[in-house]
A and B are shown apart, each in its own frame.
Chain A
Amino acid sequence: MATPTGKGTIVAAELTKVYNGKVRAVDGVSFEVAQGEVYGFLGPNGAGKTTTVAVLTAGLSATSGQATVDGIDVLRHPEDVKRRIGIVFQEMTSDGDLTGRENLELAAALYGVPRSEVASRVNGLLERMQVADAADRLAKTYSGGMRRRLELAVGTVHSPGVLFLDEPTLGLDPQGRAGFWKYVQELRREHGMTVFVTTHYLEEADGMCDRIAIIDHGRIVASGTPAELKDRLGGDIVTVRPLAAGPDLTPLLKAVPGVLTVTAQDGSYRVKCPNGEGLVPKLVEACARSNVSLAGVSLKRPSLDEVFLEFTGREFREDEGFSATDRAVMLGRVQNQLGGRR
């Protein structure tokens, strides 16, 4: 594995961004991403995810702190960094007045993809992102999901060494999401691409990221592998429901190896544990041994709300004012309406 300042890495040190001297959007964020790693930034609306991406991709200057991408100082050599990275923005940035194919050809030319490879790469990507049928239609006539998939293709047409994804699968159907992640994983396998991804979705972060940082109010409040984070959360919740009300089962359940806490609630028991799936048979077995008949056992994995409750002490909140996602969606609508006239 490369050194933290070397090729394919992303390093942020005490990165801070204050908008207009007032809004502290990113507040002393530090992290390191190794080459080939998929690193997830998980946080609610307004947490500072997009701002962090913008600083790392040389779209925004930092107020203080340092950032290095692919071994290059972003704040000092923004142009060099742009050459080495790919970006998929949270909002639409493809050109509605060009066809899907033309959008990709333009991006390929701007990133210096060898001319002889452009056609095959563009065709491959159109196919891959399932927009081949609409390849020669103006992008402004695409559906929201198609436009999003085009966006993903445009950001990756040059097979960058470091890829930044800002809520890349926003508005995609499950097949679209799965297809996109499959493609990202392939790029990563083929040439060790590093991926920095922001998301709202814990499931996505869980399945796709090697490591995750939870960001809130511009600060990283927790980080680690998905498994580590879930463990720290107390993990899964298994609810055990006895057939009939009887003696308190808390001591019995608590004695099962792997159980962290047991809370009695409305005649059933909430059992917190790191690995619920493995625990269910053991709990059933323990009950059977003590001749306790069960009406049912259910397993719940930790939800995003619980993650936030744990690490931020607050419920997963609906943000004050408009989020960037809301803005992107609204702008998309305006764009579509104007698109007809433009």
Chain B
Amino acid sequence: MIREVGALTRRELKRLARNPQAIVTSLLLPILYLLLFGQAFNLGAAVSPSVLKELVRGAPTYFSYFAAGMAGFVAVTATLFLGANVIFDRLFGVLKRTSSTPAGATAIFGSRLLAGILQPVGLAFLVLGLAVGLGKAGLSGLTVTAPVSFVGAGEVVLAIVILSVMFASLFLAIGFTIEQPQSYFAVVNAINLPVLLTSAALFPWGLMPVWFRNVASFNPITLAVNVIRENLFAGATAYYPYDASVYLLGLAAWAAAIIVVAIVLARRALAPRS
């Protein structure tokens, strides 16, 4: 099992390295948001600094709040091609070859998951770095106001990793279930924006109506972004009802549930066809 997963993971990584367009595609949307939406939505010009602090839960600027949200959104844009890869591998016979070998469905799914989270995790930090850089270049940028701590950094990494695992599993599950590329992209588009727009990645928390907050609280992107924001901005914890570890637990529950469903669907997809 370990050897199989290792060999299959290596294959996925090689393919990623040989097709770097996927990386550019994954970054396109988050970067557009950083350069356009984030720059234009200049909330600080409209309200006093104290009101702003309430609206963005202790972040120094709206852009800083929003940049943390984009780091979460990358977990979506950098994993959604994983399911498409499954569909193309099925179309091109590669999946037929792999599933004809003793490598089980769990190994096939697991290797794609392992290889699939590398990119979103890397890109999430790239987006954070870029957001800091924009500030240095004279545009609105990300300002980290909290002191860097070992535990804090660990929590941020963990949040990004778990969120990536969750979305990678979700898109892999869809890829194993749907056979037509067109239908896949239709489904993914139906998930992509709604999951972003029901999260706290973009919107100032303080502006949301209560019902929307209730919905957004359970959104996995919100959970991950809460962890990031609590750790990046000094004093932010006062604006959050729970400690970052609680949000991490919630996120882990999401990921575990989706992994289970994904493995079931992958097994079904790779079992002898009827």
A in complex with B: yes
Give A41-61 as 1s and 0s: 1 = Cβ < 8 Å from B's Cβ atoms. 000000000000010011111
Of A93, A97, A110, A154, which one neighbours B15 at CB under 8 angstroms? A97
| A269 part of interface (Cβ distance < 8 Å) | no
Query: B272 and A112: CB pair below 8 A?
Result: no
| A83 part of interface (Cβ distance < 8 Å) | yes
Q: How large is the interface on A (under 10, 10 to 19, 20 to 34, 35 or more residues)?
A: 20 to 34
Query: A60 and B272: CB pair below 8 A?
Result: yes
| B126 part of interface (Cβ distance < 8 Å) | no
Query: B96 and A110: CB pair below 8 A?
Result: no
Query: B11 and A95: CB pair below 8 A?
Result: yes
| A289 part of interface (Cβ distance < 8 Å) | no
A85-102 contacts to B, CB under 8 A, are 87, 89, 91-98, 102
- For residue A154, which residue of chain B has the nearest CB? B97
Chain A contacts for B11, CB-based, 8 A = 95, 98, 102, 106
Chain A contacts for B100, CB-based, 8 A = 57-59, 82, 87, 89, 93
Q: Given that A59-B273, A61-B274 are contacting pairs, would A111 and B102 also be in contact in the complex, using a CB cutoff of 8 Å? A: yes
Chain B contacts for A60, CB-based, 8 A = 272-274
Q: How large is the interface on B (under 10, 10 to 19, 20 to 34, 35 or more residues)?
A: 20 to 34
| A309 part of interface (Cβ distance < 8 Å) | no
Chain A contacts for B271, CB-based, 8 A = 78
| B14 part of interface (Cβ distance < 8 Å) | yes
| B6 part of interface (Cβ distance < 8 Å) | yes
- For residue A335, which residue of chain B has the nearest CB? B92
Query: A110 and B4: CB pair below 8 A?
Result: yes
Q: Given that A106-B7, A342-B88 are contacting pairs, would A97 and B19 also be in contact in the complex, using a CB cutoff of 8 Å? A: yes
| B93 part of interface (Cβ distance < 8 Å) | yes
Query: B97 and A89: CB pair below 8 A?
Result: yes
| B208 part of interface (Cβ distance < 8 Å) | no
Give B221-254 as 1s and 0s: 1 = Cβ < 8 Å from A's Cβ atoms. 0000000000000000000000000000000000
Chain B contacts for A342, CB-based, 8 A = 19, 88
Q: A94 to B272, alpha carbons, bound, how many Å?
A: 20
Least distance between A69 CB and chain B CB atoms (Å): 13
Chain B contacts for A87, CB-based, 8 A = 100
Give A267-291 as 1s and 0s: 1 = Cβ < 8 Å from B's Cβ atoms. 0000000000000000000000000
Q: A92 to B95, alpha carbons, bound, how many Å?
A: 11
Query: A102 and B102: CB pair below 8 A?
Result: no
Least distance between B50 CB and chain A CB atoms (Å): 53
Chain A contacts for B97, CB-based, 8 A = 89, 93-95, 107, 154
Q: A79 to B272, alpha carbons, bound, how many Å?
A: 10
Least distance between A288 CB and chain B CB atoms (Å): 60
Q: A41 to B273, alpha carbons, bound, how many Å?
A: 22
Least distance between A12 CB and chain B CB atoms (Å): 15
Query: A112 and B14: CB pair below 8 A?
Result: no
Chain A contacts for B98, CB-based, 8 A = 110
A151-173 contacts to B, CB under 8 A, are 154
Q: A89 to B93, alpha carbons, bound, how many Å?
A: 9
28 A-B pairs with C-beta separation under 8 A: A60-B272, A60-B273, A78-B272, A82-B102, A89-B93, A93-B94, A93-B96, A93-B97, A93-B100, A95-B94, A96-B92, A97-B14, A97-B19, A98-B14, A98-B15, A102-B11, A106-B7, A109-B3, A109-B4, A109-B7, A110-B7, A110-B8, A110-B102, A110-B103, A111-B101, A111-B102, A138-B18, A331-B91
